[in-house]
Amino acid sequence: MITPASNNQIKQWRKLLMGKYRNMTGLFIAEGIRCVEQILHNGFVEIDEILVDKPDLVHLLDIPESLPVFELASDDFASISDTKTPQGVMAVCRVPKKASVDDIAVSEGVIVALDAIQDPGNMGTIIRTAAWFGARAILFGKGCADPFQPKVVRSTAGATGAVHYIRGDFGNIFHELESTGWQVYLLDGSKEAEDLRSVKTAKKSILVAGNEATGISRGLFTANRTRVRIPGHSGIVESLNAAVACGIALEHFSGLS
């Protein structure tokens, strides 16, 4: 059954475009037919309600009967969307619970740590790539884009919530993880860094990617951490896109290469 949305509901959903209201309510919006379809299918995050601007769009999705569906006028729907050409489908979702450092510390595999990754498209692509390669967790450090803002969620193509996550200062988190055997690897384009192809990965590996413009914070470079570079044809381009670099490195660290 499809119910017309009230003005008050529309007002509350519109507020979710702002980070402070996402933090306050613990809700976020996933937009787009493919994105919502994947979130429904994967079940990684809990959905509170589905929003559409045309009743016929409901038939494109496998929506449980227990899930409320609300119809909005096209103008109202567009006011909630952050895209120029909305697809007419949204899901209001619950922000998944953060993982604890203790839970992550006792596991093995690869953790992706993002240091001030600010571009939402890069952030979403990295989250999706981390899910593809089976990353144990993603750490969102200071200065990162909000992983639950609409463009990031859309860029994950439905992978939001697929990987455990922690948000916070790397100093304390790294200290605790390193004390339980995790080894930190810093993606660094300098000549002094070790060629990725020759890097022997640890059973517990933390892969750090830095800001698109300034790279990894200098305070993270310590003697016990390994600097890693991705080889390429020097002189053609200055550096790789952050999401592309993460994808290449994750293939190596996942043990699939």
Question: What single-letter DSSP state applies at residue 217?
Answer: -
Residue-wise DSSP of 28-87: EEEESHHHHHHHHHH-SS-EEEEEESSGGGGGGS---TTS-EEE--HHHHHHH--SSS--
Q: How far apart are CA 254 and CA 233, in angstroms?
A: 24
Q: Cβ distance 144 to 118 under 8 Å? A: yes
Q: Are residues 46 and 126 in the same domain?
A: no
Q: Are residues 147 and 24 in the same domain?
A: no
Reported confidence tier of residue 233, pLDDT bands at 50, 70, 90: confident
Which pLDDT value is given to residue 236?
A: 77
Q: What range does the domain containing 155 cover?
A: 101-253
Q: Using one digit for the tens of pLDDT, what is the confidence trace for 22-78?
A: 999 999 999 999 999 999 999 999 999 999 999 999 999 999 999 999 999 999 999
Q: Are residues 36 and 144 in the same domain?
A: no
Which pLDDT value is given to residue 239?
A: 83
Residues ≥6 apart with Cβ < 8 Å to 230: 187, 189, 196, 240, 245, 248, 249
Global confidence as pTM: 0.94
Q: Using one digit for the tens of pLDDT, what is the confidence trace for 48-58?
A: 999 999 999 99
Q: How far apart are CA 208 and CA 245, in angstroms?
A: 11
Q: Is the pLDDT of residue 256 over 70?
A: no
62, 94, 126 - which closes a domain: 94
Residue-wise DSSP of 145-171: PPTTSHHHHHHTTT-TTSSEEEES-HH
Local structure of 122: helix, strand or coil? helix
Which pLDDT value is given to residue 146?
A: 98
Which pLDDT value is given to residue 238?
A: 79
**Residue 235: Cβ-neighbour burial (10 angstroms; 0-12, 13-18, 19+):** exposed
Q: Residue 139 belongs to a domain with what CATH number?
A: 3.40.1280.10
Q: Cβ distance 214 to 202 under 8 Å? A: no
Q: Are residues 193 and 169 in the same domain?
A: yes
Question: What single-letter DSSP state applies at residue 197?
Answer: G
Which pLDDT value is given to residue 23?
A: 97
The encoded tokens of residue 140 equal: 């969102």
Q: Are residues 123 and 82 in the same domain?
A: no
- Cα separation values, 1 from 53, 59, 61, 187, Å: 14, 12, 14, 50
Q: Are residues 125 and 212 in the same domain?
A: yes
Q: Domains in the chain: how many in total?
A: 2
